[in-house]
Amino acid sequence: MNKTKKPRIPLMRSMLIIVVISVIVTVSFFAVSSRNYFDDLAINESRNAAKIAYVGAEELIYSEITDIEDFDNEAVREKLHYYLQRLCCESEIEYMFCYTLDDQGIRHFLMYCASDEKAENEYWEEYYYGITEDEPVSEAEIKALAGDRKGNYEFRQEFNDYICAWIFPLTDEDGNVDALMEIDYKYIHIADLITTLRIRSWLMVIVVMAFTLIIARVLFKSFVLKPISILSKDMELFSKDKSINYEKRNTHIANEVTDIEDSFESMVKDITGYMKDIEKFTARDVQIRTQMDVATKIQQGVVPDKYGIKGKEYDVFGASFPAREVGGDFYDIFFLSENKLCAIIGDISGKGISAALFMMLVKSSIREKIRAGIGVAKALNETNDYICSSNTECMFATIFALILDLDTGKVTYANAGHNPPIILSDEPRVLNVESGIVLGLFDDMNIKENTLFLKEGEGIFLYTDGITEAVNREGEQFGMDCMITHMRSYKVTSGFEARQKSLSLIDKVVEHEDGLDQFDDITCLMALYGGKEIKEESERSKLAADDFQRVKETIFSVIKDEDRAKNAILACEEIYANILDYSGADRISFVLEEKEDRLGIKLVDNGKSFDPVNARPMEKKFEELDLGGMGIMLAKEFSRDMNYKREMNRNILSLTIEKDTKVLEDRT
C-alpha cells in the first residue's frame, strides 16, 4: 500500500509567510499601542503653535491698550482686529476670541476674528463687542483665570466644526488677569498631523524590518540552508550505502547545525559498529534461539500444559502456562502405589532457560526420592542438600509436596516456602501451614511433615504466585480473596470437576489481566477426594470383622495417643455394629479429621433412614435396647457431639471426640 506523500513547503517560503505575518502583527500592535503617544504628540504641536500665536497676540493687544477698558474705543478694536486676523491667517488659526468673565461666570466678549472673511461675516453677529454668554465655566478657563500661561485646551463643537480650543490669560504688568484669550484650531488639522506621524513611524519600522530580513536571509542561507542541504545529501548517500565514509565539513563557527553534523557523524560511527556487531551476534542469536526451542520442547515433555488422572475415589488435575517460552513453574502427579497418589507443585526463581534446567533438576530429584519411599519431608530436605552443593547460580525453589491416601483421605504434606494451599469444601478455606524455607539457599533446613484428612467430596488446591499476583490495568492484584470467592461459587457436587474448576479459575485470572501481557507463570494443581467405599462380601460377619479391622488400623495409625485411639474405636465400633445389624446397609465408609483438641469421625451408609441423635433409648423396654439402642447410648457417652443428616438416600453420622475423653474402664 503506497503512503500518501505529504506536501512539501519550501523553507524560505514558509519563513517569508511567518515574517510577513509577524510584520503585520507587529505594526498593528505598534499602531494601537502608540495611539495615545501620537495623540499627545499632535496636541503638543498644537499647543506650541497656539502659544506662539498667543504671545504675539498679547504683545499686539498691549501695544495698543493700557487698560482692558480701552476696548470701548472702536478705532482701537478695528486696528487690533486687523492685526489679529492677519495673525490667524499666518498661524492657521481658525478663530480667536478675547473676553472677560465676571463673578457670575458670564462671558463678555471684547473682540472676535476668524481666519477668512466668510467665517468672519457669518458669525460676527454672535461674537461682536459687548455680547455675553452664560455657558458653564470650563476647567481650562478656571486654570487660565488662575494665571496658568502654559495653555489649557478643550475639545468642543464650534460653528459646525469640531475644534481644539486653547485658553490663555491676558495679564497686565503686575500679572493680574485682565481677560482671557481663546485660540481655536480645527481638530482635522490635528488628526492629519497624527496620521502623518503614524505613517512616518510605520514606514520607518517596515524599512528597518525589511533590512533586517535581508540580512537574516543571507545569514540563514549561509549558515543553515546550505549546510543542511549538504548534510541531507550525505544522509541520503549513507542510507543507500552504509560503507561510505562520512566526512564532516570544516567550519569555525559552532551552532545548532554543527551539532546536528556532530550527531550524524557519531551516528554513522555507531551504526557502522552495530552492523559489525549484528553480523557477529546473528549466528550466536540463531544458536541461542535453537537452544530455547529445544528447552521448550524438553519442558513441555517434562511439564505438560494440562494433565490429570481420575478414578472413582479421586480426581487430580494440573495445568501450567509459562509467561515466556520457557518458564520456571512446574507440577507433578504420579502414583506411589495402588492406593497412594503423590502431587507436587513448585516455583523456580527467575525465568528462561536457566530456570527451566534448574526446574527439571529439582523436579526429577524430588520425584525420585519420594518414589524411594522416604516421605515428602525427607525428600525435600535431601533435594535441598543436593542442589545447595552445586547451586552456582544461587537459584532457589518454593515447593509443596503431598501424598494422598485414597483409602482414608489422609494427606501427608511438607512445605518449602510455597503458598499455603486451599482446602476445597462447602466453605473453602486457606490451610494454616508452616511456610518453611525455600530450597537451594541453606543447608540442613529440617523441613517438617504434617498431616490432614480430607472428607468425602473435599479437595486441596495448590497454586503459584502467577495467580494471586496477576495485575490488571489499574495495578490491582487478583489476590487470595478473589480466588476463594471463585472456589466458593463452584460448589462441590457428587461428581469430580478438577479440570473444570482449575481452567475456569485460570480464565478468571486472564479476564482480570484485561489484555495485559502475562507477568508471571501460572500453575495450579487440584486434588479432589471422593472417599473409599467398603464393599460387601458374601458373608456379613466377615465384612464386619475384616472391614472394621481396617478402620481400627487406620485410627491407630493416625492417633498416636492410645487413650484417644481406644475411645474413637469404641464409639465407632458401636455405631458400626448397629449399621451392619439393623440398617440393612451394604456400603459403609468413614472419614477422620484430626485437629489440635478433638478428632472428627464421619460414618456414611446407604441403609434405611434412622436418626440416632433424636432417639430416646432409655424410654424403650429393656428387651428392645438390644436392637440398636445400647450402641447409640455408648456412642453418645464417648463423644462430645453427635450429628445426623440424611442426604442422597444416605445416612451420615458425625462424631466429635475430645482429647481428654476417659476410656471405658474409667467410666465403669
CA atoms within 13 A on the CB side of 215: 6
Average pLDDT rounded to a whole number, residues 506-516: 89
Q: Assess if residue 427 is contained within a domain.
A: yes
**DSSP character at residue 625:** I
**Contact (Cβ atoms closer than 8 angstroms) between residue 370 and residue 388:** no
* HEC assignment per residue over 551-592: HHHHHHHHCCCHHHHHHHHHHHHHHHHHHHHHHCCCCEEEEE
Total number of domains constituting the chain: 4
Cβ atoms within 10 A of the Cβ of 329, count? Answer: 27
Domain boundary among 510, 529, 548: 529
Mean pLDDT value of segment 573-592: 70
Among residues 227, 257, 291, the one where a domain terminates is 291
Query: What Rg do the C-alpha atoms of the chain give, in angstroms?
Result: 57
- In this structure, the answer to whether residues 143 and 202 fall within a common structural domain is yes
Distance CA 545, CA 565 (A): 18
Do 494 and 547 belong together in one domain?
Answer: no
* Rounded distance between C-alpha atoms, residue 587 and residue 414, angstroms: 34
Which H or E run contains 123?
Answer: helix 117-123
Choose the final residue of a domain: 470, 498, 529. Answer: 529
Residue 456 within a domain: yes
Least confident of 52-61, 204-213, 655-664: 655-664
Same domain, 261 and 161: no
User: At 402, is the pLDDT very low, low, confident or very high (cuts 50, 70, 90)?
Assistant: very high
Give the pLDDT confidence score for residue 403 in this predicted structure: 95
Shared domain for 313 and 235, answered yes or no, is no
**Can you give the CATH number for the domain in which 111 is found?**
3.30.450.20
356 and 500 within one domain: yes
Residue 580 CA to residue 392 CA, distance in Å, equals 63
Q: What is the dihedral of CA 120, 125, 127, 129, to 10 degrees?
A: 110
CA gap 668, 664 in Å, rounded = 6
Q: Are residues 356 and 459 in the same domain?
A: yes
Q: Judge if 507 and 621 occupy the same domain.
A: no
Q: 269 lies in which domain range?
A: 246-291
Residue 172: per-residue pLDDT = 82
| 33 plus 149 within the same structural domain | yes
Q: Is residue 1, in this structure, part of any structural domain at all?
A: no
Same-domain check for residues 233 and 119:
yes
Indicate whether 404 belongs to any domain: yes
| Residue 222 shares a structural domain with residue 316 | no
> Would you say 589 and 611 are in contact if contact means Cβ atoms under 8 Å apart?
no
- The residues that bridge with 411 in the sheet, in sequence order, are 404, 452
The answer to whether residue 664 scores a pLDDT higher than 60 is no
Assess whether 434 and 498 both reside in one domain: yes
What are the pLDDT digits (tens) for 86-140?
A: 888 887 788 888 888 888 889 888 888 888 777 777 777 677 778 888 888 888 8
Q: What is the pLDDT of residue 77?
A: 84
Average per-residue pLDDT in the chain? 77
Domain match, 274 and 384 both: no
**Residue 515 domain flag:** yes
Asked if residue 535 belongs to a domain, the reply is: no
pLDDT tens per residue, range 11-48: 556 666 777 777 677 766 666 666 666 667 667 777 88
pLDDT digits (tens, 9 = 90+) for 445-474: 888 999 999 988 899 999 998 899 899 888
Residues 326, 352: contact at Cβ < 8 Å?
A: yes
Answer yes or no: is 214 within a domain: yes
